[in-house]
Chains A and B, each alone.
Chain A
Amino acid sequence: MLQPDHGVGITRRIQQITRGTFDVKPGSLFPALHRLEERGWLASQWGESENRRRAKYYKLTAVGRREIDAELTNWRRIVAAIGWAIDATS
């Protein structure tokens, strides 16, 4: 599911899987990628794109994957809790 990809690829992928809800502009994407890389959750490498262009590819690291799992668990708990709260009050 999460293959190494470059910036444009990541943007398009997000647009695609969120059905156009999230349109991440480079002004937000770049700082986010760099911050995650500095934290060690992503690793980057120059590579070649489908059109044989030089592009920087980002890949999830093992630390990053663990972090995602943790965040996901947390997120699901919150969603579930909010769901219960809404069910209980409506």
Chain B
Amino acid sequence: MRFLATLFRNLSRHGAVERDLDDEVDAHLELLVDDYRAAGMEDAAARRAARLELGGTGQVKDAVRDVRRGIWLEHFWQDLRYALRTFRRSPGFAVTAVVSLAVGIAAATGLFSIVNAALLHPFPFADSNRIVGLGLIDKGKPRGLGVTVRQLVALQQSDVLDGAFASNNWPMTLTGRGVPEAVPTQEISADGLNVLGVPPLLGRVFTEADGPAGEQPQRVVVLTYRFWQSHFGRRPEAVGQTLYLNREPYTVIGVLPRQYFSTGPEILVPLDLTTKLVWSIQARLKRGVTPRMAELRLQPLFEQFVNFPKGARPLVRTLMEAQRAADFVPTLLLIFLASLLLLLLACANVSILLLVRGSSRAREFAVRAALGASRGRLIGQLLVESLLLAVTGAALGVAAGYWGLPAVLRLLPPGSAPIGNLPAVPVNLPVLFFSAGLALASALICGLSPALSFSRPRLTVTARATAGVESRRAHHLLLAAQVALTVLLLAGTGAAVRVLIGLYRTSLGYDPHNVIIASINLPENHYTNWAERAAFYERLRNRMADVPQVESVALATASGIPPQSGQRAVVGVPGRDMTGDEVPILQRISGHYFATMKIPLIRGRVWSDSESRGTPHVALVNQTMARELWPDESPIGRRVRMPGYIRSTTYYILQAPGSDGWFEIIGVVGDTPNVGLHEPPAPSIYVPYTLMLTDTVNVILRTSHDPLSMTRSIREAVRTVDPYQPVDVVRTAEDALASAGWARERFVALLLLGFAVFALLLAVVGLYSVVSYSVTCRFKEFGIRMALGAGRGRIVRAAVQPAVLAIVAGLFAGLALSVALNKVVAQWSIGHLNDPVVLVAVSLVLFVAAMISAAIPANRAASIQPTDALRTD
């Protein structure tokens, strides 16, 4: 209490406190005079003695001020105002330093927001580390788990789980609100939202009664915030309204808060628990149960499940673990480290600026020390200056991060990074704390070494008015360190750019330019027999082919745009036993596929339209498959068997009548990167899609003009075939490629490139200030040397040599560092830090930049007039 009271008094009534002190010291003097007079001295002598005893009134008052509470605050305030004044006097320095730090902090803050959202808090659910996905490991490979409803109930009652639920993502067709629309929907068992701990924002979430086991679920729907916003303009009356989904009326019972399901499904309906098997099983672990414990405890239960494969074991993975498998995480961490490196560089640079400036302010410090400033005060003053720079930089940096981050994230198309809800990355409280911490740390890093070295001014040195060789050595050391780290960053960038160039150069085996894909999902209970569905698809294709500017149209069951291709399918070849990775990728397509994609036909032929109407059992293989299976002979005319083609029709897959599973190979086509852009092609077999009609199909169109401008006419064309048929996703092949890897690599490369350019700028600024400071310091020396006959070349060499030596030393240190770190980085990323081409290029760029930045002050050194130099103080 007392502490606060005195603190408050000292700060708020500063004037009164000071006046009181003045009075007290004056009174003390008078009392002393009285005292000496009483001892028998003359007036004048008594006054003299009193003054002697009191000492300097200023010092006494200062000593009192120094013990006052809150004195540091007062000092801080003084230092702050002083710092502001000095910065106003040298705005160039202040702006350079602030901008350096701002960019460094913006980069680190932005990346931290992404890391924070993606890795630390990607899931909005309460206690999200207890939410797990259940699967199994069969023959060493993870697999999804399908369970019966009774088994799901058994799981719910397990003593290691606090509830379990199944879900299924499937689009539903929304009609009755203008153009029919396919809405991404999650069917979720009724208690799923409770297990996840998702509360309603409006209305209610599902209850047991909405989807009881063994009965048809109620026709109720819960909206995500996104859907509520886009379809109801966030009007609360949405609850209670009716939506027509797959042409059935569903009642809206609730709306979810914004943070849940911010990507993926837009509406939720209860899962139908009358079906045989349910999939995507998720559960909430009981408190204190680890995933590993749960795996052990679930083993006996899983073994009771009749469909549980022998020798398999349960797999329990937290949402986080499932996501860690995503390969973008290490890259993201690597970029985050790069951003911290950049910040470190910015700090080093500001440190250099401060050192250089401090050296030229040595006189000021010497004077202040001589006037009685303590070392603590001088350090405090210097730290306040760097704190001011850092805080201003941080404020600007966070602002830039806040507004710039969405722009940076736009480089990443949705779905390209399987990490949480990236588009919703917020600059939130933890991020702000992080930035504040960064600002403080940068202030300390930048300010400490100058503060320590200048707070001990040596009067003799300073009296000479030229800073010693010693302080310049410190600049050069920092400069070398800065260059070394810059080289590392440049090498990393070079590696990323090379990966990107490699990707663009990858021979795709097809031409993605001007290709667009429209996805068609049949509403449930539509075209339910094979002949009707086949006719509909064919009508659709023919209608699309008539659209102006469409050059060619093909249908494909799976994406059809490598590296997203079909699924592996068992293919039996007489005399050959194929297992594991040899199992080919099956692609079900229409005959126009190769022409549309511009995949070359190497040999043989493609089935014709009229042929495919008769459901011929023919197939084409890619070159890899031809080479692996029939190395020395032609595959044409060979027969292979696909057991998948003799299973019965289900409600969503319609088999062509009369299949015996045997196919005749009629042609060989070129390879495509069908498993990944970095992977060699896998064997692949192409068969007519008509033999097995699914309820989804992709229409691939090659256009003569910008394909995106065709979206409207494509939708129109579909509507003329079936007015109730929605068109799902329309995107270009280049987009698909972008999300398959191009975008990510481009994101990495562009971001690192930005970092590298900035790091290079920092190095240039650092070098420039060091050399120009050294020229200023040695102005007189150079003048004298020139007066004694030294040539300009010699002077330039003297001015530049130490800095150039520092650069070269830093360059080699950086190269060594890159090569040394290559092993560490190689585990995370596909780029190589020890790529000689990159390293040579980096060295050249850096060296040229260094030469240019040193040239200006060097030129100044060369143009010194001896007479001017000798005349300065």
- Tell me whether B55 and A26 are in contact (CB under 8 A): yes
How long is the Cα–Cα vector from A34 to B66 in the complex, in angstroms? 10
A55: B residues at CB distance < 8 A:
27-28, 31
- Tell me whether A40 and B54 are in contact (CB under 8 A): no
Contact partner, B34, options A31, A34, A38, A53, Cβ 8 Å: A53
Which residues, 26 to 75 on A, are CB-close (under 8 Å) to B? 26-28, 30-31, 34-35, 38-40, 49, 51, 53-56
- Tell me whether B60 and A30 are in contact (CB under 8 A): yes
How long is the Cα–Cα vector from A55 to B34 in the complex, in angstroms? 12
Which residues, 51 to 88 on B, are CB-close (under 8 Å) to A? 53-55, 59-61, 63-64, 66-69
Query: Most chain-A Cβ atoms within 10 A of its Cβ — which of B34, B64, B66?
Result: B64
B162 sits at the interface (CB 8 A)? no
Contacts A27-B55, A27-B60, A30-B25 hold; do A38 and B31 have CB atoms under 8 A apart? no
The minimal Cβ–Cβ distance linking A85 to chain B, given in whole angstroms, is: 34
Chain A residue with minimal CB distance to B2?
A: A40
0/1 interface trace, chain B 5-41, chain A, CB 8 Å (1 if under): 0100000000000000001110110111011000000
Chain A residue with minimal CB distance to B24?
A: A56
How long is the Cα–Cα vector from A54 to B25 in the complex, in angstroms? 11
Contact partner, A6, options B31, B53, B55, B61, Cβ 8 Å: B31
- Tell me whether B55 and A31 are in contact (CB under 8 A): no
A25 sits at the interface (CB 8 A)? yes
- Tell me whether A7 and B66 are in contact (CB under 8 A): no
A8 sits at the interface (CB 8 A)? yes
A12 sits at the interface (CB 8 A)? yes
For the residues of A in contact with B, the DSSP-based class is: helix
Chain B residue with minimal CB distance to A34?
A: B64
B60: A residues at CB distance < 8 A:
26-27, 30
0/1 interface trace, chain B 460-482, chain A, CB 8 Å (1 if under): 00000000000000000000000
A7: B residues at CB distance < 8 A:
24, 28, 31
Contact partner, B59, options A27, A39, A40, A56, Cβ 8 Å: A27
B68: A residues at CB distance < 8 A:
34, 38
B54: A residues at CB distance < 8 A:
26
Contact partner, B67, options A12, A25, A34, A51, Cβ 8 Å: A34
Chain B residue with minimal CB distance to A63?
A: B2
- Tell me whether A35 and B67 are in contact (CB under 8 A): yes
- Tell me whether A30 and B64 are in contact (CB under 8 A): yes
B35: A residues at CB distance < 8 A:
8, 12
How long is the Cα–Cα vector from A19 to B32 in the complex, in angstroms? 19
What is B's interface to A at a CB cutoff of 8 Å?
Answer: 2, 6, 23-25, 27-28, 30-32, 34-35, 53-55, 59-61, 63-64, 66-69
Can you spell out 15 A-B residue pairs with CB atoms less than 8 angstroms apart?
A7-B28, A7-B31, A8-B28, A8-B32, A9-B31, A26-B28, A26-B53, A27-B55, A30-B64, A34-B64, A34-B68, A39-B2, A49-B34, A53-B34, A54-B27
12 additional contacts, CB 8 Å, given A27-B60, A31-B66, A38-B67? A27-B59, A30-B25, A30-B61, A30-B63, A34-B64, A39-B2, A49-B34, A53-B30, A53-B34, A54-B23, A55-B27, A56-B27
